[in-house]
Amino acid sequence: MPQTHKGPAQTAALVTAPGGFFMTLRDVAFWIRSSRADSAINGARREHGAAAAFDRLYARTSDPFGAELPQYRYQQRKYNSLLSMLPQRRYRNVLDIGCGLGAFTRKLAPFADAVLGTDISEVAMSQARKLSIGYPNVKYSLEPMLEAPADEAVFDLIVLADTLYYMDSLNTERLRCISHNIASRLVPGGLLLLVNHFFFGFDRASRQTRATHDVFRCAPLLDCVAEHRRAFFLATVLRRSDRKVGL
């Protein structure tokens, strides 16, 4: 059952939310594919580091997370659902961190002047560039955007979807740093859309997601605008406040 907790202001969204979701065998196959990709990453990451692990995965498997494979509905539904959580407006500068092959980055393109997708995988970035020919306002860059604060805040929308749980040592202190670094890239009033797996609430992945989103909700420079629980993810929309807190 979808659950949404919104703040006081409810505005029109970029798109209409997709309707109900009933799992089929194909959807189960999607999760098997995704968990194979995740265990390949976990194995290779220990030996070669995260960037090389993702490079290997993207070099070996085309679209390893089934983002645009027509037989799987989950990711496309997720993307449409995420767009439906964003207020309708023209965005000037959008950043999609951990964008992979750019499937969602391209979905953001019609609503923005410029969209930048970043990732730690060089292979993913090179494939994303090829897939995005015909999207003149979309660019990609191999940049570890989470590791340091920005000198200048230029983005009015940042998306961080299904990326954080691949990072090592994701304790509260590290998450506080990451939330601060991301907030430093947002102009005052700019939005952050944070998305992570959420299944039954009591399983390990859901508990990690809850703890992660709670750190962002408590970040000194971010105010929570809305939170949406969907099958099978949690999405939190946060707004950069104009309080000045040691950036």
Ligand X SMILES: C[S@@+](CC[C@H](N)C(=O)[O-])C[C@H]1O[C@@H](n2cnc3c(N)ncnc32)[C@H](O)[C@@H]1O
What is the binding site for ligand X (CB under 6 A)?
A: 50, 54, 65, 67, 97-100, 103-104, 119-121, 124, 144, 146, 161-163, 166-167
* Nearest to ligand X of 9, 177 (CB atom): 177
Handedness of CA 222, 224, 230, 232 (dihedral sign): positive
* Nearest to ligand X of 81, 121 (CB atom): 121
* Nearest to ligand X of 17, 51 (CB atom): 51
Name the minimum Å distance from CB 115 to ligand X.
Answer: 13
Whole-angstrom distance, CA of residue 47 vs CA of residue 40:
11
Look up tokens 């909700």; give the residue.
217
DSSP-based three-state secondary structure for 60: helix
Name the minimum Å distance from CB 190 to ligand X.
Answer: 18
Spatial contact of 123 and 58, defined as CB atoms under 8 Å apart: yes
Residue 148 identity (one-letter amino acid)? A
* Nearest to ligand X of 193, 225 (CB atom): 193
Name the minimum Å distance from CB 22 to ligand X.
Answer: 22
* Nearest to ligand X of 142, 241 (CB atom): 142
* Nearest to ligand X of 61, 241 (CB atom): 61
Name the minimum Å distance from CB 120 to ligand X.
Answer: 4
Name the minimum Å distance from CB 9 to ligand X.
Answer: 26
Name the minimum Å distance from CB 162 to ligand X.
Answer: 4
On the question of a cis peptide bond just before residue 232, with omega within 30 degrees of 0, the verdict is: yes
Q: Cα angle vertex 193, ends 7, 240, to 5°?
A: 65
Q: Give the residues across from 227 on adjacent strands.
A: 5, 236
Quote the tokens at residue 26: 């194909």
Counted residue by residue, the chain has a size of 247
Whole-angstrom distance, CA of residue 158 vs CA of residue 108:
11
